[in-house]
Chains A and B, each alone.
Chain A
Amino acid sequence: MALLLLAPLAAAVLAFALPGKRARPRALLAGAALHAAGVVAAWLRPPAPALYGWLALDAPGLVVLSSTSALFLVCAVYAQGYLARRADRENRVFVGGLLVLLTAMTAVALAQHLGFLWVAIEVTTLVTAPLIYFNHNALSLEAAWKYLLVCSLGIALALLGTFFLALASAGPGGPHSLLIRDLVDGGGLLSRPWVRAAFVFLLVGYGTKMGLAPLHSWKPDAYGEAPGVLGAILSGGVTSVAFLALVRVLRVCSAAGEGAFARQSLVGIGLFSMALAAVFMVGQRDFKRMLAYSSVEHMGILALGVGIGGSAAAGAFFHLVNNSLGKGVLFLAAGNIHRAFDSKLAGRVRGAARLLPVSGSLFLAGFLAVSGSPPFASFFSELAVLDGALRGGHHLVSALFLILLSAVFVGMGSTVLKVVQGDPGESARPQAGFGDSPITAGPPLALMAAVLALGLWVPRALSELFAAAGAATG
């Protein structure tokens, strides 16, 4: 477990220390590779809890950790080509920051103490803001400021919620601890009004970090202005760890008897996120902002799945993996298209499939995957959520779920098709030297293959892991 945390941190220190621009991306790759090796080791031999139980790897944590690690590794490979093409920019903060981000995300996945969990999420917020500003222009500065302010506000409210939970456990005979295991064991002794108030603040706080509506206002700006590779890591990794934090909170609330209130809130906010995403995706000209709203929608699906519980929760974890991989494909391909056409507006970009055959078709395939078309994996994960909803008797929720999914499909499809199809001659003049190359097209292709493979066949170990993770939501 130490390797998981220390390897990227050491690589970050190395990246900050290296004087040369060319060598730094190698540090990024080294850190990512070591991290992935650590995750594989954790699969083969589950590590024991460390630090008096503050760090432990359980089923939900392993799901998030694996998907984040895989995504980060692929993005690190992509970043080699990206940073080489952007050799004009100073990349010390970018590379170092990405590695610190990986450390923080790992810490969240391993955290079993709610205070430590909060600190790790705060670190992800603080370290991402300078990364969004990588392009050093007015728009990315605006996006970085909004991100920093909104997410810091959310995190502060989450801290208040954490304190409320600490107070809930401080009653006579209570667990007097913020370790999740202690809180769940002593659930009946937690003070219920405080737990309810805590859940509200924690939902708002960690929901802001996830990007659930109506707390999502930073997402379109941040994802729209950040480089593609950062967008992939943010939408696939950071939102997943924020979701994990919410899942832990849900577990404590269920143990305390406030589970029904918590689940209803999650279902409500999930549906609201999907609806808002559907509304804002219609007529969206900027395809990176469109991807941000797609991320809002998928976070809504995750919240919905966990809120319904049962087999829908297992489906939500499966969907988390698919969302990470699918968003990775979409953001990396979008990054390629943006660079090639020097524009991210659907009106000015046309015929991406002709000019960048691999990236363009990957963009289209990624859209199909993310919006839940078979045979891609997202279809099966969304089906699992729907199955859980119908089994639980939530007919209205299921109906709304299906309607909103189709609305999103239509809204997103119009923009994607406009970008991908057509004749590139009508569009902005493509930049020379930014066509498809193995290093920029290979990583998204690998991720797409993974999504397809998961759709065709889910290994038994994975499906058991998803089921265990779903059961662990309480």
Chain B
Amino acid sequence: MARLADMVFILVVVLDLVLLASSRLKVAIRTVAGQGALLALLPVLLVTDEHDWGHVAALAAGALLVKGFAIPRMMLWAMREAAVSRELEPIVGFVPSMLLGAVGVLLSFVFAGALPLPGPEKHALLVPTALSTVWTGLLLVVSRRKAVAQVLGFLVLENGVFVFGVLISDFMPVMVEAGVLLDLFAAVFVMGIVIFHINREFSSLDTEKLSALKD
């Protein structure tokens, strides 16, 4: 089980790096959906005897539903509404993005070494994975031009926070994780509505057009 969990963590980081390089929005949305579905497996893989199976199953099912189906459906709907399909060259460029992501992964491992975990070694890869995913999400939000891509970055960041949340669901009530899922859903819903308005107002989802306000 622990080896499987390690494979899931590594796959999550690989998907992060793939996201930094992807230029087609549909592929990116499906990759984020895949990453979310993978993360839904984590509570099941990391379960121990102290856990309540009902809670764990509910959490995994909820995460799969929200991250794997509901949110990608909303994103694909937003994409269809706006008829965007490809991301223009982002502000940072694909190759520099990948390299920055790789540096972020390296730094995550370094920082995770400085933060001692209370539990045994079974969670050794969890903190670096969470931090790398958060870093990837930040990078995506900051460097992409299309609004849908920025929302994808936010989704990736929340994925990273979810990974970390799995660690503390050992002893925190599941309400915390449920809160995270609910928040994610609500945030993406509101963003979707704003994107709809942006498309109507500007006939484009290129956030370069949203630069009239500046000092």
Interface residues in chain A, defined as those with a beta carbon under 8 Å from any beta carbon in chain B: 115, 118-119, 122, 126, 129-130, 133, 138-139, 141-146, 148-149, 152-153, 156-157, 159-160, 163-164, 166-167, 170-172, 174, 176, 178, 191, 193-194, 197, 220-221, 224-225, 280, 284, 289
Contacts and interface: CB of A to CB of B under 8 A. Distances in A.
B116 A153 contact: no
B190 A148 contact: yes
B63 to A, nearest CB: 15
Contacts of A133: 194, 197
A93 B198 CA distance: 18
Interface of B: 111, 114-118, 130, 134, 137-138, 141, 147, 150, 154, 157-158, 160-161, 164-165, 167-168, 170-172, 175-176, 179-180, 183, 186-187, 190-191, 193-194, 197-198, 201-202, 207, 210-213, 215
Contacts of A172: 118
A167 B168 contact: yes
B194 A191 contact: no
B154 A138 contact: no
Contacts of B207: 145
A119 B186 CA distance: 12
A289 B183 CA distance: 30
A163 B161 contact: yes
Contact of A170 (B171, B191, B210, B213): B171
Contact of B115 (A115, A156, A160, A193): A193
Q: Is the interface of B mostly helix, strand, loop or mixed?
A: helix
B115 A197 contact: yes
A289 B212 CA distance: 14
A157 B153 CA distance: 13
A194 B115 CA distance: 6
Contact of B212 (A139, A153, A170, A174): A139
Given A160-B160, A193-B114, 6 more contacts: A122-B183, A129-B194, A142-B211, A159-B161, A167-B117, A193-B115
Contacts of B201: 138, 141
A129 B190 contact: yes
B116 A146 contact: no
Contact of A126 (B130, B161, B180, B187): B187
25 contacts: A115-B172, A122-B183, A122-B187, A129-B190, A141-B198, A141-B210, A142-B210, A142-B212, A145-B207, A146-B210, A148-B191, A149-B141, A153-B138, A153-B141, A156-B157, A157-B134, A157-B157, A159-B183, A160-B130, A167-B164, A174-B118, A194-B115, A197-B115, A220-B215, A224-B213
B118 to A, nearest CB: 4
A193 B127 CA distance: 14
A115 B186 contact: no
A39 to B, nearest CB: 27
A67 B210 CA distance: 35
Nearest to B173: A115
Given A138-B202, A141-B194, A145-B194, A166 B168 contact: yes
Contacts of B213: 139, 142-143, 146, 220-221, 224-225
A167 B202 contact: no
A139 B211 CA distance: 9
